Structure 1
Amino acid sequence: MSPTQLFDEVAHRLSQLAATSPAADLEKNARALMTGLFSRLDLVTREEFEIQRALLAHARERIDALEARVAQLEQAKPGQ
């Protein structure tokens, strides 16, 4: 379960609890608490993750191409 889904589930359950509880601002306080906790987890957004994944895939392709070129040049060396 992703942190966002977890947060939504906890918020939903707290909302249900608050509806039957005399503490009207319980949900607001709990949401603020959970938001503070998640902000300390050093999470990345899906967009940031996808950008880094694409950069890594491009780097891996480039490394593979360079390794193939080095192998080709090593085979073409005269006298070895």
Structure 2
Amino acid sequence: MPLSTIKIDDEIFMADGAVGVGAVREVTPGKLTVYIEGYGDIMIGPDQIASAHDGKVLVKPETLPDHVQSHLEHVHDGEYRRPSEA
């Protein structure tokens, strides 16, 4: 996937239709630095991106290190949700 279509502040998703988990911090020709909520910055390469369009970057979670994948399972655990959203 060419990184040239990705911009700083594009939102990061792990699944189509899922809630975003972070944002792009930096774009270079060979990698992205992305912020993952509650975790911090990680670097990913083009082979770890499933698609990118309309300000959204869909990452292939299975390509991320195990400790990042484990964190992603709980990235929104601390957020308040109204009872109708639970």
Question: Under TM normalisation by the shorter chain, which class is it?
Answer: under 0.3
**Superposition TM-score, scaled by structure 1 size:** 0.23
Structure number with greater Rg is: 1
**Superposition TM-score, scaled by structure 2 size:** 0.23
Greater fraction strand: 2
Greater fraction helix: 1
Higher RCO by CA contacts (8 Å cutoff, separation 6 or greater): 2
